Amino acid sequence: MPNAGLSILTITLAYTIYYFAWNSPSLRKWFDKKYGEAPAKIKWIYFVRWNGVAFFGVLSLAICLFQGIDLQSVGLGFKNWKPTLGWTIGLSAVVTVMNYFAARSPDNLVMYPMIRTRPPWPNSLLVGSAFTWAMYLLAYEFAFRGFLFFTCRAVMDLPLAIAVNISLYVLVHIAKGWKEAVGAVPLGIVLCLLTEQTGTIWIAFLVHVAMAWGNEWWSYYWTSRNIT
């Protein structure tokens, strides 16, 4: 099977398994019973994120290694740091400001922060959530902007490789509502173009982390204000 076909199949199966694990009532009930409802809220989100690390990141990495794919060729190289740093700082600043206003909307606060524990959070929770977000997004961006994008790019022209990437990227956002699904289109295009320019996943990863952290922290801030 061509590497592009294998990567498309891998991402499709990985998200399918991840989605049904995340939305399993019986598994969630087991968590509540084992840990108690309040601690389970935290452990469940950590579990979901580590599942993402396994199904997106570890699986994609294992296939690359099994196939003998050079990891630098799928975005894990360390090069082009000047444009990477510039774009990362600029885009992170933009998404941070956007999150400040977007995070306060009722639609956003229904879903975020994902850990549904009332403020104030202990420092261990703030750090733990930030760390698991970063690990999940490293795996996620390696799967999408690394393994999937570069294996498609090897056999497709740029517009088609982006189209395949965005198609799957949008589909995995549908579960979070139409706004996130639609928003995934321009974001995905920009991240693919920057990945193409730099040959690495680092802009996509770091900007995605800035977006996730900013949304969580601003959502936490607005939630704290609403209950005081």
Average pLDDT, the chain: 93
What pLDDT was estimated at residue 1? 42
pTM: 0.94
Classify residue 50 as exposed, middle or buried by CB count within 10 Å of its CB (0-12, 13-18, 19+): middle
Structure tokens at 140: 């996620």
Domain that holds residue 130: 3-227
Q: Which segments of the chain does DSSP mark as H helices, in order?
A: 3-22, 25-35, 37-52, 59-67, 81-102, 106-111, 123-141, 149-153, 158-171, 178-198, 202-227
95 vs 102: CA distance, rounded Å: 10
pLDDT at 228 over 50: no
At residue 200, the pLDDT reads 98
Contact 74, 64 (CB under 8 A): yes
Tokens of 198: 């730099």
> What pLDDT band is residue 158 in, cutting at 50, 70 and 90?
very high
* pLDDT, tens digit, 9 for 90 and up, residues 3-44: 899 999 999 999 999 999 888 999 999 988 999 878 888 999
Q: How confident is the model at residue 2 (pLDDT cuts 50, 70, 90)?
A: low
Share above pLDDT 90 across residues of the chain, in percent, rounded to a whole number:
82
Helix (H, G, I), strand (E, B) or coil at 151: helix
What's the number of domains the chain is made of? Answer: 1
CB 153 within 8 A of CB 196: yes
Residue bearing the bigger pLDDT, 179 or 157: 157
| Averaged pLDDT, 66-81 | 94
pLDDT in tens, 91-101: 999 999 999 99
Give the other-Cβ count within 10 Å of 193's Cβ.
Answer: 13
The amino acid occupying position 98 is M
Q: Residues of the chain with pLDDT > 70: what percent?
A: 98
What DSSP string describes 191-219? Answer: HHHHHHHHSSSHHHHHHHHHHHHHHHHHH
185 SS3 class: helix
Cβ atoms 14, 59 nearer than 8 A? yes
Residue-level pLDDT at 116:
87
Q: Which residues contact 85 (CB under 8 A, 6 or more apart)?
A: none
Position with higher pLDDT, 227 vs 51:
51
- Indicate if the pLDDT at residue 196 is higher than 60: yes
